[in-house]
Amino acid sequence: LVDHARHDLVVLVELAVRVPALAIDVHAFGVARHHLHEAHAALDQAAGAQQQRHEAEAEPAVERGQQAGTGNLERGIEAVIHGGALHKPDIARYPAQAFIDVNVTGTLNLLEAVRLVNPKIKIYNAGSSEIFGDTGGAAANEATAFRPRSPYGVAKAAAVSLVVNYRESYRMFACCGILFNHESPRRGLEFVTRKISHGVARIKLGLDTELHLGNRDAQRDWGFAGDYVRAMWMMLQQDEPDDYVIATGETHSVKEFLEVAFGHAGLDWKKHVEIDPRYYRPAEVDLLIGDPAKARKKLGWTPKVTFAELAKLMVDADMKTLQDQLAGKVNVAQ
């Protein structure tokens, strides 16, 4: 949808998630309503409708600090996409307890808030393939046991279990996507795919000569994030809520990604990639693969972007961004 609207909805969810107990606080709903109102306005604007209509309706109530009743939420929200969480790379910065506070208690607060305000609001909860831990190379599906191997994975497993519990106890439309690695040009540089695509672009444009990596034999089930968001949307369109593993069902090594990404730029990765022990992981998972059979059968979902297309589109995007930046610098200098 519209970037502003998405941002404000994210803020709402983040508010509910990051501060324990905030979601069921009256004032928090005032704040949340304010953000919702902004989101509405942005959506309306995009549709060419009157932005002022919502301002006139919502602003005074928020200013008076009234409890936001169910009105705006009922009218405004059909579904909450819940992805607010401490993420895996945050493990280096936060203690294990923070993952429980934010990812578990936060999810509980959100479920409870929706149950209290309007249990008809649908919830999509971002699970994670990290809940499975190391399956020893077996493709994980919805029946695979949870054996998480990090506080992040433990928290995501608990949050998924809470969603299932609320769905079964209160008949809420709450579903989980258990997504395997999903990549795009928006991926952070702390993930290996983006680190490589960004590195390729820098080397190609003469800004660098080397790229330092860890274990190049690791294998992952990498898909395109856009395809995975489509699966999320499809889950919310079903008659019944359920949980789905979203993956490509293929696994590829870091080396294969290097081959495609460097090759796409006309470069030989072997001439540029250096092994750096700093990037090796003490508790590495050698191979990850998901089994998306249920999503294929029940949702009719299949990924459209192939592994090679993914690597290439990420390189193209980084090339363009860097070229634009360089052009900008030239312009400034002139």
Q: Which residues bind ligand GDP (CB under 6 A)?
A: 88, 181, 190-193, 195, 213-215, 218, 220, 254, 279, 281, 284
CA 151 to CA 157: how far, in whole Å? 10
Supply the minimum distance, in Å, between the C-beta of residue 220 and ligand GDP. Answer: 5
Between 242 and 250, name the residue whose CB sits nearer to ligand GDP.
250
Q: Residue 281: name the closest of 316, 259, 254, 251 by CA.
A: 254
Q: Are 283 and 149 in contact (CB under 8 A)?
A: yes
**Residue partners of 162: CB distance under 8 A and separation at least 6:** 104, 107, 108, 111
Residue nearest to ligand GDP (CB): 218
Supply the minimum distance, in Å, between the C-beta of residue 192 and ligand GDP. Answer: 4
Quote the tokens at residue 121.
């609001």
CA 38 to CA 314: how far, in whole Å? 32
Between 168 and 284, name the residue whose CB sits nearer to ligand GDP.
284
Between 126 and 192, name the residue whose CB sits nearer to ligand GDP.
192
CA 279 to CA 211: how far, in whole Å? 12
The sign of the CA dihedral 319, 247, 15, 56 is: positive
Q: Residue 223: name the closest of 142, 268, 288 by CA.
A: 288
Q: Which residues are catalytic?
A: 128, 130, 152
Q: Are 131 and 245 in contact (CB under 8 A)?
A: no
Which uninterrupted H or E stretch holds 183?
A: strand 182-183
Between 132 and 301, name the residue whose CB sits nearer to ligand GDP.
132
Supply the minimum distance, in Å, between the C-beta of residue 193 and ligand GDP. Answer: 6
Quote the tokens at residue 98.
């923070």
Q: Are 149 and 134 in contact (CB under 8 A)?
A: yes
Between 68 and 192, name the residue whose CB sits nearer to ligand GDP.
192
Supply the minimum distance, in Å, between the C-beta of residue 254 and ligand GDP. Answer: 5
Supply the minimum distance, in Å, between the C-beta of residue 224 and ligand GDP. Answer: 14
Q: Which amino acid makes up residue 325?
A: Q
**SS3 (DSSP) at 112:** helix
Going by their DSSP bridges, the two strands 219-220 and 252-253 should be labelled as antiparallel
Q: Residue 221: name the closest of 260, 181, 178, 256 by CA.
A: 181
The sign of the CA dihedral 312, 313, 317, 318 is: negative
Between 241 and 290, name the residue whose CB sits nearer to ligand GDP.
290
Between 124 and 257, name the residue whose CB sits nearer to ligand GDP.
257
Let me know how long the chain is.
Answer: 334
